[in-house]
Each structure stands twice: as structure tokens, then as C-alpha cells.
Amino acid sequence: MKEEILNLIKERGLLLEKSIFDLLENIHDVGAAKNFLESIERFSGQKLITKNVLNRNFEFVRSFVNRLEEEDKVSIERVFVKMGLSLEIKAEKEVISKNAEVRLTGREGKFKVFYADTKPDKKLEVADFVGHIRARYQEIQKILMQRAELQSNLISINKISNDRSVLSIIAIVTEKRVTKNKNLIIKFEDLTGEIAGLVKFDNKELFDRANELQLDDIVGIRASGSREILFVHEIYFPDSFIHEKTRFNEDISIAFVSDIHCGSDRHLGSNFTKFLEWLGDGSEAAKKIKYLFFVGDNVDGVGIFPGQEHVLKLKTMNEQYNLLASYLRKIPKEITIFMCPGQHDAVRVAEPQPIIGRKYASALYEIDNLILVSNPSTIKLIEGDKEFKVLMYHGASIHSLINEIKELREMKAHKCPAKAVRHMLKRRHLAPTHSEVVYIPNSDKDPMVISEPPDVLCTGEVHRLDVENYNGTVIITGSCWQSQTPFEEKVGNIPDPCKVPVLNLKTRELKIYDFSGEEKE
């Protein structure tokens, strides 16, 4: 094996870093190893094959490795980790429920649920958070490397010379400050080092974009300068784009509800019952609904905030989940229900939140058409070779995004929360800043990264229905089934309850049904 690779290197006049040679030795199929070497030479146009060459041609490398045998994939992934890179060959945990094939009025409803492991397997240390940020950087770096604007002179920070040049970097924002001349100094960091970038105040468009940057944002930068300082010309977010919208052939719909708050003395039970009765009344619109998404805060909880016992109608978690289960039993069996938790549910607050457990919600486990999922989760609805992706996230980070981003503060985005969710897609992350939400670090893969642009990103949390289309993704922030609480009154939040958005998967037409009074569309 070793001799054959060495002969090929001599024949083609190549030079290899030792780590690249180690990589080839881990491919057990000699033919595949040779093919890889010839292909990377041809694809990159380089005779000197280094780690940076693999980095610049990441998507090609990953697609090649994915075609190898499973044994080779695992061994090569280990070599890449030693090199400070990650192919992320291992996908998110895929959970196919026992109900993944449900008989739905003469057809098979098929779906897949994807979510990360939610159980920390050891005591958490500082190193785990460092590994988590590193994993996030590598995931978003791969997304940014696909942008054509960053292909020219893309280098790592430690390769920036003392001579002035035009270059591109992909880095994480670690510090921001305004100078006495009103210019903006931003400190950028990648896996190899850090450098300061200057954005001038007189370039308004660029300055506004730079001012929008949050700590821990991972972005691409076009700049000129030297090791001493970079003068920033352009800032590129990873961003989310769907170039071709998925449409099913079958005329079916999906519906979204959130923030039921069962057990609260402000819970709008009669209105929710009206919605459930409509689901089963045999009307043409209701019969088309085959999937129903519950996006967190399904119950009001116990001890969520000081003095909550004074605003509870049902005082225990068991009672609250029993009420919720009584509602779900009224939903027609041909509708598959997906339910993720929120901060008020009987799970830990730290994200990703695990599925709602049996301890307090055993009644939910008796409902055959209910699929409990984590927060966040991606559900892929399947028709033939088509996949319609729905990303569920309750939305704890929405408040921080609104508070920290000037544009959102000025427009008072709590009244139009989909504007905040746009920033999650723009950054390809559900909670970009380290302190935004409480989370469990994961050194293998940050589960809050939006690795695939979803067809729908649905949230709850803000108690206001809002809908937007962002680069092909439909954003839906959920309504609620709870009247204004004392806390909401105190902070000036006015809920918009009892609204149900229904999206047709054939036409992509979205309708809103209002159950706050007389039903209207």
C-alpha cells in the first residue's frame, strides 16, 4: 500500500504534507486512495497537497469520503480531527418513530425526525464549551466556504503576512468597540489566531452591517491589510437560501400551534376546544391537514417564576399534562402530531431540551399519533424522493436577538417576531451568542446550527402570530392559547391568541384561521 502511493507521488511529481500521507494510508482500498490523490490534484490544480488545499476544497473532499466504505469513513474522520478539521461524516441522530409509517386515509405518511443527543455523558468542564464553539465554527465555516465571494485568497489568520495584501478570512467575532473617531474595531478569531479589523464610520452601509454583528457570530470577511490590522471591505453572513421550493403532489396541509399553557388561569380552553372541533368537523380545509406541530410551552408548568402558584388553575404538572392529553385525544387519528418542549414544560431549560418524559406526562405516551421530539428538532416529511423540512424551535433566543440588534430594537420586533427569526437563518444558528440561552455543550456537533435550510422554521415563545418568507424559507412564529398574563401586562407585551396557520404542501398557500371569536379565515 505504502509503496504504491509513493510510486504514484513520484510519477505525478507531487509533494505531500505528512498528515495527507497519513490520510491516504488510512484508506484500505488502494484504488480509492490513488483516485483521491489524482482527483484532489486535478480539482485543486495544486502539486503541493497540504491541509489548506483540503480545507479550500472541503465540499469535494467530503463528497469523496462519503462514497467510501464505513470503516474507511471512521478512520479518515479520526485523521481529520487530528489535523484540526472535521468532515462531520456522522450525521445528526436520526430517530424514525414506530409511527413513522402511519395509515392516513388510504396513503402512507412517512417522515423522519432528526435531533441531537440531549444527554451530557459526563461532568461538564470549560474544555467542553471550547470544543462546542470549535465544532460550531467548523460547521459554519463549511457553509461559508461555499460562497463564491470568499473563494479568492481565502487564508487562515496565522498565514496573514506583514506585507499588505487583499485577502479573505472566515472568523468568529470575539470583541467589538467604537474608537474616538467613531470607527468600529472588531476582533476576529479562527482556529489559528486572532486579528483586529477596522470598519470606517463614513462607509454607512458596511458600518451598519458591522454594527449588527453579535459576539460569537461566524462570518466571512473580505479585507486588505497586514498582520497588524485589516481594513474590512465586505462582511458575509453564512445565510440561508432555498433555490427550489419543495411542493408535494398530494393536496395535503400542515398546521402549527404553540404556547397552549394548559393549567394557567389564563388558558383559553374553550377557544382551543373550538379549534379541535373544527379539526374533526369534516370540512374540506380540515380534512387536508395531515400533520400538526406543537411548538413548545404546552403546559404552564410549576415553579417557573416566583409566585406562579397564584396564577395556576391546575397546581401540578401531572394535572396539566392530563388536560393536554385530553385535548390531543380529540384530534383525528389520521393527523400525526409532533410536539417539542419549551421553557414551561417539564424538562430542563438548557438547550437542546430533551423530549417530555413519562414522569409527569405519562398520559401523552398513550396517544398513538403523537410523536414527542426535542427542542430543536428537524422533521422531514417525505413524498417519494421529495423532502419537506420543518425546523421546530420554541424560540428562547428571540428576546436576546431583539434586545441586542439595533434594527430589531428600533422596530420593536416583539410585535413582529418573525423579523428576529430572520436573523437566525441569516446566521445559520438558533442562538448565536454564547450567553443568549442556557445550553449543553457538544464537542462533536453544535445542535443549534441550522445545517440545512428548512422549508419552514416555526417558533413559539412570543405569543404573537407572524409570518415571513426569507430566501425561500417560510418563517412562522406561533400564536398562543393564553390571555395576557400579569407579567406580559407589566412588560407591555400584547398577545395575539387563538390563531392557527395552515400551510398547503402542494400549493404552498398559507391560510390563517382565527378561533378567538367566530371562526374566520
Q: Where are the beta strands (DSSP E) in 157-245?
A: 165-178, 184-190, 193-199, 218-225, 230-236
CA neighbor of 297 nearest in space, from 440, 497, 448: 497
- Look at the chain and report how many structural domains it folds into: 3
Residue 353 shares a structural domain with residue 469: yes
According to DSSP, residue 149 is labeled: G
Of 82, 100, 122, the one marking the end of a domain is 82
pLDDT tens-digit series, residues 192-216: 999 999 999 999 999 999 999 999 9
Contacts of residue 96, Cβ cutoff 8 Å, sequence gap at least 6: 112, 113
Contacts of residue 471, Cβ cutoff 8 Å, sequence gap at least 6: 239, 240, 241, 242, 425, 453
Residue 228 shares a structural domain with residue 314: no
CA angle 86, 92, 95 (to 5 degrees): 160
Of 40, 61, 82, the one marking the end of a domain is 82
Cα(183)–Cα(197) distance, integer angstroms: 10
Q: Please report the pLDDT score of residue 106 as a whole number.
A: 30
> Could you report the average pLDDT of every consecutive run of 10 residues in the chain (521 residues)?
76 80 76 78 76 71 69 63 50 39 40 77 81 92 90 90 92 94 94 94 92 94 94 95 93 96 95 95 92 96 88 94 96 94 94 92 92 93 93 95 92 93 96 88 89 96 95 96 88 89 96 79 48
Q: Give me the domain span that covers residue 228.
A: 148-236
Residue 70 shares a structural domain with residue 172: no
Record the cell numbers describing residue 69, joined without a space.
Answer: 466504505
The CA–CA distances, whole Å, from 115 to 96, 170, 179, 355, 457 equal: 11, 27, 43, 10, 15
Q: Please report the pLDDT score of residue 27 as a whole number.
A: 75
Q: Please report the pLDDT score of residue 255 as a whole number.
A: 97
Is the entire prediction scored with pTM above 0.75?
A: yes
Report if residue 130 sits inside a domain.
no
Strands 48-49 and 101-104 come out as unpaired
Q: Please report the pLDDT score of residue 1 as a whole number.
A: 58
According to DSSP, residue 335 is labeled: S
Report if residue 41 sits inside a domain.
yes
Residue 230 shares a structural domain with residue 285: no
Burial class (CB in 10 A: 0-12, 13-18, 19+), 100: middle
Which residues, in sequence order, are bridge partners of residue 457?
Answer: 391, 475
Q: Please report the pLDDT score of residue 80 as a whole number.
A: 63
pLDDT tens-digit series, residues 234-273: 999 999 999 899 999 999 999 999 999 999 999 999 999 9
86: left (phi over 0), alpha (psi -120 to 50) or beta: beta
Residue 283 shares a structural domain with residue 400: yes
Report if residue 510 sits inside a domain.
yes
According to DSSP, residue 310 is labeled: G
Phi/psi for 512 (5° steps) reads: -110, 125
**What angle in degrees, to the nearest 10, is found between the helix axes of 2-12 and 30-44?**
30
Report if residue 10 sits inside a domain.
yes
The number of residues making up the chain comes to 521
Report if residue 501 sits inside a domain.
yes
The CA–CA distances, whole Å, from 460 to 213, 258, 304, 397, 467 equal: 25, 5, 17, 11, 12
Report if residue 9 sits inside a domain.
yes
Residue 225 shares a structural domain with residue 292: no
Residue 226 shares a structural domain with residue 368: no
Residue 155 shares a structural domain with residue 182: yes
